[in-house]
A = this chain, B = another copy of it.
Amino acid sequence: MTMSSNAGGRRKPPTIHDVAREAGVSRGTVSRVLNGGHYVSPAAREAVDDAIRRTGYVVNRHARSLITGRSDSVGFLLTEPQERFFEDPNFNVLLSGCTQALARHDIPLLLMLAGTKEERRRITRYITAGHVDGVLLVSSHSGDPVAEELRAAGVPLVACGKPIGLGSKVSYVAADDRDGARDMVRHLLAVGRRRIGMITGPLDTPGGVERLAGYKEILTEAGIAIDEALVVSGDYSKASGEAGAERLLAQAPDLDAVFVASDLMAQGVLAVLQRAGKRVPDDIAVGGFDDSPAATAVTPALTTIRQPWDRISTEMVRVLLAQIGGEDPAAVILPTELVRREST
């Protein structure tokens, strides 16, 4: 009741010194128990553990970082248009997956949004100054100056999706876009479709390119010639899906299926088909990509390709930590999965 009241202000937390005194050992021994704990006797370890519990000791990370040179934290960096990611729920799954995977290693995640030029400058300084040990990068597309600068500065870096123009020195984790596209087109063939159109993603991104490649690959394999009138390009947005569907309907009235490179675009496609009086999947089958919530929000529910976002995030963290630990950059490609619903 006397000094134990902490009403109002925060009291000074116990230090490693207090723990050492409490346990009847030296600072060094406490420190050894805290980190790995080699070369410490069972008796000492127990005494220290007890003392830690009694005092409620938590290591002061600033003091530790000051001497180790590590910050024991990593940045989650989102460059370029944020709106794009913000309307995509997969982004949240990725962010939360990374946060939780890091939490398991007791490493906090710093969120960094590089929107304006000023923010980009600040973030670059912050990172290159060593305030984080590494960076999880979500860059929209091509040549990202921030990422390039970080790479040049030797900051451990793991990108989500294959980055463009960063050389081969940067790690990345990506879903197998091409194989996902192959699965979808194979599926459309399997349900009897032959005039299969495609609305692509942005072709300045590896994802966009790969999905298109998978589409062409399977059609060719099936002995179906690629009809360029059946391929229109989009940018993953709902609006571009609508535009693409309209062009496609105009250019190829005999279309009986369309593979759309994102669920968001597919949502737009469904709207256009409905207005045009086409029944899905009876007249035209529609396949999406992403398995975003949009896929189940629409009617008919969308057949789509699921990207393993949970695994992507844990892999990104694993690769980053390995790289911080001194290992070489690595590329990880993860398998996708066809999710069949009502639209095919």
Contacts and interface: CB of A to CB of B under 8 A. Distances in A.
A190 interface: no
A40 interface: no
Contacts of A119: 100, 103
A130 B10 contact: yes
Nearest to A110: B108
B96 A122 contact: no
B110 A58 contact: no
Interface in A71-112: 71, 73, 76, 82, 85-87, 89, 91-93, 95-96, 99-100, 103, 106, 108-112
A335 interface: no
Q: How many copies does the complex hold?
A: 2
- Residue of A91, A103, A125 ringed by the most chain B CB atoms within 10 A: A103
A4 interface: no
Contact of A99 (B58, B73, B113, B131): B113
A238 to B, nearest CB: 8
A267 interface: yes
Nearest to A10: B154
B108 A122 contact: no
B66 A62 contact: yes
B130 A293 contact: no
Interface string A3-19: 00011111001000000
Given A60-B129, A91-B92, 18 more contacts: A6-B153, A10-B130, A10-B154, A13-B130, A62-B66, A66-B66, A86-B89, A86-B92, A92-B92, A95-B111, A96-B113, A99-B112, A103-B113, A108-B110, A108-B126, A108-B131, A109-B110, A271-B299
A87 B86 contact: no
Contacts of A110: 73, 108-111
A131 B61 contact: yes
Contacts of A112: 99, 108
A168 interface: no
Given A86-B93, A92-B92, A119-B103, A111 B65 contact: no
Nearest to A103: B119
A321 interface: no
Contact of A122 (B66, B106, B109): B106
Contacts of A131: 61, 108
Contacts of A60: 66, 129
19 contacts: A6-B154, A10-B155, A62-B62, A62-B66, A62-B71, A63-B66, A73-B110, A76-B111, A82-B96, A86-B89, A86-B93, A91-B92, A100-B113, A100-B119, A103-B119, A106-B122, A108-B110, A108-B131, A109-B110
Interface string A124-147: 011011110000000000000000
